[in-house]
Structure 1
Amino acid sequence: MGVDEMLQAGVEGVVSALHHLPTGDVWSAEEIARRQREIATRADGSASGLAWEVVESLPVTEDIKKQTGDWRAHIENYKLSLANLAAAGIETICYNFMPVLDWTRTDLAYRVGHGGTAMRFDLHDFAAFDIHILERPGAAESFPEGVAEIAGERFAKMSGERREQLAKNIVFGLPGTAEHFTLDDVRAHLAEYDGMPTETLRGHLVDFLAEVAPEAERLGLRMCCHPDDPPFSLLGLPRIMSTEEDYRAVMEAVDVPANGITLCSGSLGARPENDLPGIMERLGDRVHFLHLRNVTRDTEAVPCSFYEDEHLRGSTDMVALIAAVLREERKREQAGRANVSIPFRPDHGQDILDDLTRKVQPGYPAIGRLKGLAELRGVLAALSHPEHGL
């Protein structure tokens, strides 16, 4: 979506990143300024009035996650990037600490009831990939009882084209990055994490934050960690940001305000124990960024299959979550905090209408997200009404 389209959509601030830069490189003042100029300018050269307000994301290298190779140099580069962002007036920095792959889906165009499409994670299809395509040692035993058997039946019925597409979908990687993995790349990365306990990966995150969060605090920045997506272990890899308890442990380990949370209702919502309105109530003072989207779970088991639903449908009570957000913002206002308003994005959407004929980044259709944004704004307007709201 271009700057002119963002204005037409009613965007108030822009979430962006320097995806073209290799992970681990310093984000220079020049590159940051170039992106700011692009956002500040309409297609006709006039001022847009928009500003780059949230970075999503400033990526963390695999070396930092594993504490191998040049990880210490990468942390120093990260600090320099933070300093350059702060000098440019950008204060909110989203990142994640998921090893190897970021969000993972088995279908990027799953047909839903109204005829549009959405992204889906199907546990049995994923198991078919893990066991029969990737051929990861011990994969069959890592799934709940009965999953491997169904996965084998599914795989046997898949055409060669479907098997190839399934593999491509799963290793698609983070939207916008230049890092798209082959199966051999995935196998090599998995081998580097082989046997790493969850506690070790969490310790590496705490070590990273112990270095960068105090620097972010000094610079007046807010860092916010995105949850695992999906919020359960895949490919034998450890997951450390999947539950409220995970977040609480990391917030307490590096207890500075700059060490915060990206509350993604879609990612966390794929795990039934995650009470999103409750998490907002209990950890809201450290929530620096919101992804407001919804998923519908097939079952209440962990792990489970799910698909990206409409923003006001699905397994998360979005109205209750937004009400909790507004209560937190009122608390901040009463406390005199500078960051009263928590930036949010509608994040993923379903492909509807003209989206279905466009070649767009999976999960990021124009019309589907506009619909979600309109729905979220309607809830916000109702709950914030001076006479009839909360």
Structure 2
Amino acid sequence: MQETWRWFGPLDDITLPEIRQTGATGIVTALHEIPYGEVWPLEAILARKAMIEQAGLRWSVVESLPVHEDVKRGTGDLQRIFANYRESLRNLGKAGIPTVCYNFMPVLDWTRTDLAYRMATGALALRFDAMRQAAFDVLMLERPGAEADHRPDVLAAARAWFAGATQADRDTLLTSIMAGLPGAYDRYDIPGLRRMLDSYAGIDAAALKAHLARFLREVVPTAEEAGIAMCMHPDDPPRPILGLPRIISNRQDLADLIAMVDSPANGITFCTGSLGAGVANNLPALAREFAPRVAFLHLRNVTKEPDGSFHEADHLAGDVDMPAVIAAFLAEEKRRGTEIPYRPDHGHVLLSDAGRKTHPGYTLIGRLRGLAELRGVIAGLRHHAPV
């Protein structure tokens, strides 16, 4: 399996020389400075690729080539947006970058309510707290009908928390929820978020899936011609958020995705954290079933709670049977005869991570620990059960 590392470009506080010392050989990055819906020029792609290669690394995966919100809503000048996306794919193919990760989550990517949840060891982790999410949705955002989306006991706890929360507590909660776009720099205040949510009025899961299918029909043939595997990231968390539908959350959703366009260029980013937060998702079984269509792996772990809360655990702790998942993909690699890129997804704030200006979840020492642990699992599985 190819070890990769997410890097947010020249403005990332973690440098390419530091990444090389982790042992990872591949870089996962994007041209974050280019607005959504615009073309990635070949010259800009080649310049970023040269920067990576000068550090002794290679650009293995694009994460992400973002999908414009108009595509998800099915509005606006879609033909121009589709044409630009196709041109970006052609340029990435010319540059020899084989894999493009993207997602189809409306408005926000991953959603967390706590960016510094203290673990028993003193490490800081990301957390989704169902009570705080309800407090934000019902009492801060004041979304019409939001009460129906939260359990009564969670709502009661949310009202109690909100009654005692300071303005600083509420501001911190808003900042935490807005942090779910780690590669983008647009953030919403409460009025701005309300306007974005209003723009999705009337769009349910079925409509969003129809918009996804149209997008795939428009761009996957170009990806196939360019020699690129597109791989969609699952919803995080795998449930509706703020009244927005989520459509890649479980086994049926994954099956629907690959059936939309029957092409090897239409694949999956298998994220053990996102799928692992779904109570009904059996990760080893999903890995075995969908391995032939998986082009990229995000490996992290979560510990779930009965009320729907979860936090990001150590990579080999939590509810996901990580060795069983990895074993499924080692078997798939043997079948293909090629490596599947993976990256240690998210990481706790450990040791000298404190104080560094890194994106939430994208620490140096925390991810280095995760990478080392995953590397050990892979080596152990290969030694005891060669594949």
Q: Secondary structure at the match of 2:182?
A: coil
Q: Distance in 1 between matches of 2:277 and 2:385?
A: 32
Contact 1:118 1:309 in 2 (8 A): yes
2:288 matched to 1:315? no
Of 201, 214, 218 in structure 2, the residue corresponding to residue 207 of structure 1 is: 214
2:373 matched to 1:375? yes
Contact 2:235 2:249 in 1 (8 A): yes
Of residues 72-81 and 171-180 in structure 1, the stretch that sits farther from structure 2 once superposed is 171-180
Q: Which residue of 2 aligns with 1:272?
A: 279
Q: Which residue of 2 aligns with 1:358?
A: 356
Q: Which residue of 2 aligns with 1:177?
A: 184
Q: Which residue of 2 aligns with 1:39?
A: 52
Aligned residue identity for 1:355: D
Cα RMSD of the aligned pairs, angstroms, is: 1.2
Deviation at 1:49, TM superposition (A): 2.6
Q: Which residue of 2 aligns with 1:155?
A: 162
Q: Secondary structure at the match of 1:193?
A: coil
- Counterparts in 2 of 1:192-203, with a 5 A limit? 192-203=199-210
Q: Secondary structure at the match of 2:183?
A: coil
Contact 2:216 2:260 in 1 (8 A): no
Query: Structure 2 regions of 5+ residues with no counterpart?
Result: 1-13
Q: Which residue of 1 aligns with 2:256?
A: 249
Deviation at 1:5, TM superposition (A): 0.8
Deviations along 1:241-287, one digit per CA (max 9) or x if unpaired, are 01111010111121111000000000110012111111111111100
Q: Secondary structure at the match of 1:118?
A: strand
- Counterparts in 2 of 1:1-390, with a 5 A limit? 1-41=14-54, 48-299=55-306, 304-333=308-337, 340-385=338-383, 389=386
Q: Secondary structure at the match of 2:86?
A: helix
Aligned residue identity for 2:346: H
Q: Distance in 2 between matches of 1:278 and 1:388?
A: 19
Contact 2:179 2:360 in 1 (8 A): no
> 1 or 2 for the larger relative contact order (CA 8 Å, sep ≥6)?
2
Deviation at 1:357, TM superposition (A): 3.0
Query: Structure 1 regions of 5+ residues with no counterpart?
Result: 42-47, 334-339
Q: Which residue of 2 aligns with 1:336?
A: none
Q: Distance in 1 between matches of 2:183 and 2:235?
A: 18
Contact 1:98 1:239 in 2 (8 A): yes
Deviation at 1:85, TM superposition (A): 0.2
Aligned residue identity for 2:316: L
Deviation at 1:298, TM superposition (A): 1.3
Deviation at 1:213, TM superposition (A): 0.8
Contact 1:173 1:181 in 2 (8 A): no
Aligned residue identity for 2:323: V
Deviation at 1:358, TM superposition (A): 2.1
Contact 1:382 1:389 in 2 (8 A): no
Percent identity between the two aligned chains: 51
Deviation at 1:144, TM superposition (A): 2.3
Deviation at 1:70, TM superposition (A): 1.8
Deviation at 1:71, TM superposition (A): 2.1
Q: Secondary structure at the match of 2:354?
A: helix
